[in-house]
Amino acid sequence: MTTHTILVTGGSGFVGSHVILQLLAAGHIVRTTVRTLAREAEVRATLEKAGADTGRLSFFAADLEKDDGWAAAVAGCDHVQHVASPFPQSQPEDEQELIRPAVNGTLRVLRAARDAGVKRVVVTSSFAAIGYGHGQRHSDYTEADWTDVNGPAVQPYMKSKTLAERAAWDFVAAEANGMELAVVNPVGIFGPALNDDLSTSIWLVKSMIEGRMPGLPDLWFGVVDVRDVASLQIAAMTHPDAAGERFLAVAGKAMSIPEMADVLRTGLGPVGARITRRRVPSWVVRIMALFNPMAREAAPRLGIRSNASNAKARTLLGWQPRSNEEAILATAHSLIELGLIEGTR
């Protein structure tokens, strides 16, 4: 196996950590960026607890909204995995709070990579850049689709991912000087949490298990395991045919929140006893949306099943993701093992 030097942006995040784990396990030399080096010890400890040998891992301070640090971080790298991007718990009042760092940060990383002679950059985009602004749709989304940022109920996060990815493709077409780009577009990312810094998807599972979700709305999500996102990122980095391509990271058909609850209840036995069976009618959510920000965000998506195809990643890269059920249960088991489910410690 050829050993490469690879920069992973956002190494303290959920996806970034799993990408680092797999790159180190494969024998690569890995660098990662964090906003402040004060987080190095914490991130290193998290990775080592997950089984990593961090002797080939180094840290660089770099912020998506600042130029400082990027040139040093990427110098001498063969490839870059650009994973870092803002993901809020709630939508900001000013959408530019998300759009600006997503777009400008992506361009900063691409410019630094080009100037350093990097061969290929893999950008972690999102299904948010593919499947929104179209209303109800009965055919599966593919990599040929793009979110309509001016479409109905397109929120700032979806706009930020769409505009950032479009900016990346435009940059590579116009001024990359031969540097290659591949993009991975995950749906809702589940799978093993590594610490108590939990993503939005993981919080959903935690809330259900702890009985903090009083009712189950008719909301649907694509599901993919974070370990499979990481493996697809790495395949997109190394496979000769991946250059210039997008890849949807999705395990199978979309799941509803009630279906997720059923999987957890069945798979966890007594630990899942607090998971409600109560369904929340959509009309109730729409009334709540008048005064509840979270319900307001959810209301436009009620009943919409946005299915996506993983045929391209399977066919071109040989990618074989875990099932929806395995990803959901892996999330739950990791939370239990980490002692993060109240009432099970």
Cα separation of 80 and 75, whole Å?
A: 11
DSSP string, 109-146: HHHHHHHTT-SEEEEE--GGGTS-SS-S--SPB-TT--
> For residues 49 and 23, is the Cβ–Cβ distance under 8 A?
no
- At 272, the amino acid letter reads G
Give how far Cα 295 sits from Cα of 19, 200, 209, 285, 286, Å.
33, 15, 20, 6, 7
Catalytic residue check, 159: no
Alpha-carbon distances of 272 from 131, 193, 199, 308, rounded to whole Å: 32, 18, 21, 29
The one-letter amino acid at 260: M
Distance, in Å, from the CA atom of 253 to the CA atom of 235, rounded to the nearest integer, reads: 23
The active-site residue out of 119, 159, 161, 206 is 161
Catalytic annotation, residues: 161
